[in-house]
Amino acid sequence: MKIITILTDFGTKDPYVGIMKGVMLSTATELAFDLQIVDITHDVEPQDIREAAFLIKEYYTFFPPGTVHVAVVDPGVGTKRKPIILCKNGHFFVGPDNGLFTLLLDEDFEVYEIKNKDFMLKNLSYTFHGRDIFAPSAVYLAKGFHPSSFGDVVSNPVIESSCFPDIINDVLTGEVIRFDRFGNAITNISYELFEEFTGRGSFKIKLLHMVFTKLNRTYMDDQFTCLVGSSGYLEFALYKGSIRDRLNIKKGEKITVEVIA
């Protein structure tokens, strides 16, 4: 049984996700093997490449090596941006080369362009590469075709630089990059970076008018909490409420961390 995961910003109102699954299952039937498809989410904010990048990094390690991960958040579909396969830690990632896989480029990896039309549907649309390129290519990968069969090596995959916090004048500055269903505000400041920056000494974290001088362990430690969420990033929450709605926080809201001497 081969596994393919799917993450998109398609939502569930339209048939797009179902069509991609249909292509995958039909291709797997033609290749005579069983396929298990796992939906990660289809509720990524439309066109939000950065939000998707953080989700991809968060979920993929919980699947076994050999899993093929299809990610389609693709505002540049049909343009000159490349369709690619990224190989990392025994996993395969299929999607557009638009910064979607930025957070996977910090260790050993290989990237190949998808150019071989034998792994695509015959009639290509300019607006639905999820169906025509990514879905069938993922199935051929799951079957065991080597990524080099699809096309040439890509030596300079696109990096979305806004995924990363800045350190300027001894201030670590990040921002809110997404909200979960509960309205918790999740940042792009990883706990590893936070520890390295603060040296485990005293600190103050600022979000809007609020200042935090400690990290909580659970959501119920205080009414407003700053803690390390399950994703491994600093997160802000309101106990039994939505901090996003209460404080009218938007994506891109700045977060600062300063070391207290």
Per domain, the residue ranges of the chain are 2-149, 164-259
Per CATH, is 164-259 categorized as 2.40.30.90?
A: yes
The predicted-structure confidence for 156-213, as pLDDT tens digits, reads as follows 999 999 999 999 999 999 999 999 999 999 999 999 999 999 998 999 999 999 999 9
How far is it, in rounded angstroms, from Cα 64 to Cα 27? 22
User: What mean pLDDT is predicted for residues 212-234?
Assistant: 97
How far is it, in rounded angstroms, from Cα 174 to Cα 166? 7
The predicted-structure confidence for 14-55, as pLDDT tens digits, reads as follows 999 999 999 999 999 999 999 999 999 999 999 999 999 999
What dotted CATH number matches 2-149? 3.40.50.10790
How far is it, in rounded angstroms, from Cα 54 to Cα 234? 13
What lies within 8 Å, CB to CB, of 49 at 6+ separation is: 73, 75, 98, 99, 100, 160
pLDDT at site 187 = 98
